[in-house]
Amino acid sequence: MAAPYAGLGACRVASAAPSLPVATVSRRKAPTDRMARAMPHESPMSPDPIPSRPSPETVAMIDRLVACPTTSRDSNLDLIHDIRDRLRALGVDRIRLTHDDDRRKANLFATVGPGGSGGLVLSGHTDVVPVEGQPWTHDPFRLLERDGRLYGRGTSDMKSFVAVVLARLPGILDRGLRSPLHLAFSYDEEIGCIGVRRLIADIVAAGVRPTACIVGEPTLMRPVVAHKGKHSWRCRVQGHAMHSAYAPQGVNAVEAACEVVAFLKAMQRRFRDQGPYAQDFDVPHTTVHTGVIRGGTQLNIVPHECVFDFEFRYLPGADPDALFEEVRRYAEEVLLPEMRRVHPAAGFAWETLSSIPGLDAPDGDPVVGLARSLSGLSDTGRVSYGTEAGLFQEVGIPSVICGPGSIEQAHKPDEWVSLEQVARCERFIDDLGVRLAA
């Protein structure tokens, strides 16, 4: 299999093969240019057919990244520091790290090419979801190639995109750049797009103003111009414990929680059956979902507490606060009076878990045209999952999503990306480099 990083510290060694050398690249000066000029609407620049498999350097880089188990609960510093060192070896010296409060995790933001404002961001997250409890048929942190696919945790979501960017960067630098190219690699995307918020705040405070952003989440290399927003909450129900033989004298927190969950399910049915709809989305309506519930200790005790987590994934234009208020009013105006007639301390407490704005890129935005041209596809998509693109757009950086692999493979056992998709991503990045050098 491909060679592992030589300096990944805690990351696992995926092969005994020697690591690939880092090329020495001379950086040529080029005049600063507005990114808008680097976003023509022509067809892809390379007339050659796309290869059926990516370069050995890219496969080696995917192997290296997969071998580092950057599950969101764990540190990503070994991986981030290795990427930083690799960039430095290429002569990239404008590198910013932003850490979490415990300094166990970090974002990396690097700028290559000329100084000045503008430039395009290539964005990807470094964390992956856990593998525990999933029936993997091979080691999830050891890259496996089989039948035209690369298997391993993060191959689809989304270490292959990050690997392509890093593996093709030497060629981009060798051509020279007329406007800046920014690399943004974040932590904790999988648990609420947490890390990228600090990255964005840092570059805004530093006066770095990119013109556009491409987020490389898996889209089968089809440009995606919109995604739903997501808000999630935790509800903590306080009841009153009692021996179950005297259940009417207690407040059953589990039952109260289940009534709210049933109300959420009724909202979901309403959106499914009545809309509003946006047919361009793969799931064309707002969705409501309860994913976690915990309560009770044993059967003969009326449970005094129950906690559940729920979310709304809403269409552009919907108001998530109004959706939440509908749930809160039902709980506190319909259920709570009955609960407090039994015990005055009964109640509901609400906690926001995450808030991810939706993405809605105008069809005429230059970055949409650029993504179409580089991908060779004229149509665009709209998806139900959230990404960091909405956060970039929120601070005035127009964004689209385009990356290798399918979201259908993400978060699953035996996650995979096809070699053909990685090769398409290579062509996309290579042609982008040509555009930025033109």
Query: Which residue out of 33, 63, 78, 127 is catalytically annotated?
Result: 127
> d(Cα 150, Cα 419) in Å, to the nearest integer?
7
Check residue 116 and give its pLDDT: 76
> d(Cα 179, Cα 158) in Å, to the nearest integer?
26
- By the 8 A CB rule, do 398 and 198 touch? no
Whether residue 233 sits in one domain with residue 222: no
Please check whether residue 3 lies inside any domain of the structure.
no
Whether residue 421 sits in one domain with residue 319: no
Check residue 317 and give its pLDDT: 86
Whether residue 180 sits in one domain with residue 266: no
Of 311, 336, 356, at which residue does a domain stop? 356
Whether residue 317 sits in one domain with residue 328: yes
pLDDT tens per residue across span 382-416: 999 999 999 999 999 999 999 999 999 999 999 99
Whether residue 210 sits in one domain with residue 106: yes
Along the 438 residues of the chain, how does pLDDT read in single tens digits? 444 334 454 465 443 333 333 333 333 333 333 444 445 334 345 667 888 899 999 999 999 999 999 999 999 999 999 999 999 999 999 999 999 999 999 999 999 999 878 999 999 999 999 999 999 999 999 999 999 999 999 999 999 999 999 999 999 999 999 999 999 999 999 999 999 999 999 999 999 999 999 999 999 999 999 999 999 999 999 999 999 999 999 999 999 999 999 999 999 999 999 999 999 998 999 999 999 999 999 999 999 999 999 999 999 889 999 999 999 999 999 999 999 999 999 999 999 999 999 999 998 999 999 999 999 999 999 999 999 999 999 999 999 999 999 999 999 999 999 999 999 999 999 999 999 996
Please check whether residue 344 lies inside any domain of the structure.
yes
pLDDT tens per residue across span 260-270: 999 999 999 99
Whether residue 249 sits in one domain with residue 371: no
DSSP characters for 266-316? HHHHHHHHH--B-TTBSS-B-EEEEEEEEE-S-TTEE-SEEEEEEEEEE-T
394 is catalytic: no
The 3 state secondary structure assigned to the chain is: CCCCCCCCCCCCCCCCCCCCCCCCCCCCCCCCCCHHHHCCCCCCCCCCCCCCCCCHHHHHHHHHHHCCCCECCCCCHHHHHHHHHHHHHCCCCEEEEEECCCCCCEEEEEEECCCCCCCEEEEEECCECCCCCCCCCCCCCCCEEECCEEECCCCCCCHHHHHHHHHHHHHHHHHCCCCCEEEEEECCCCCCCCHHHHHHHHHHHCCCCCCEEEECCCCCCCCEEEECEEEEEEEEEECECEEHHHHHHCECHHHHHHHHHHHHHHHHHHHHHHCCECCCECCCECEEEEEEEEECCCCCEECCEEEEEEEEEECCCCCHHHHHHHHHHHHHHHHHHHHHHHCCCCEEEEEEEEEECCEECCCCCHHHHHHHHHHCCCCCEEECCCCCHHHHHHCCCCEEECCCCCHHHCCCCCCEEEHHHHHHHHHHHHHHHHHHHC
Whether residue 350 sits in one domain with residue 364: no
Check residue 45 and give its pLDDT: 55
Please check whether residue 418 lies inside any domain of the structure.
yes
Query: Which residue out of 189, 217, 430, 431 is catalytically annotated?
Result: 189
Domain count for the chain: 2
Please check whether residue 23 lies inside any domain of the structure.
no
Please check whether residue 25 lies inside any domain of the structure.
no
Please check whether residue 390 lies inside any domain of the structure.
yes
Whether residue 309 sits in one domain with residue 235: yes
Whether residue 176 sits in one domain with residue 260: no
Whether residue 43 sits in one domain with residue 125: yes
CATH number at 138 reads 3.40.630.10
Whether residue 245 sits in one domain with residue 213: no
Check residue 44 and give its pLDDT: 45
Of 325, 356, 387, at which residue does a domain stop? 356
Whether residue 373 sits in one domain with residue 336: no
CATH number at 287 reads 3.30.70.360
Check residue 438 and give its pLDDT: 64
Of 294, 326, 356, at which residue does a domain stop? 356
Please check whether residue 10 lies inside any domain of the structure.
no
Please check whether residue 86 lies inside any domain of the structure.
yes
Domain interval for residue 343 = 229-356
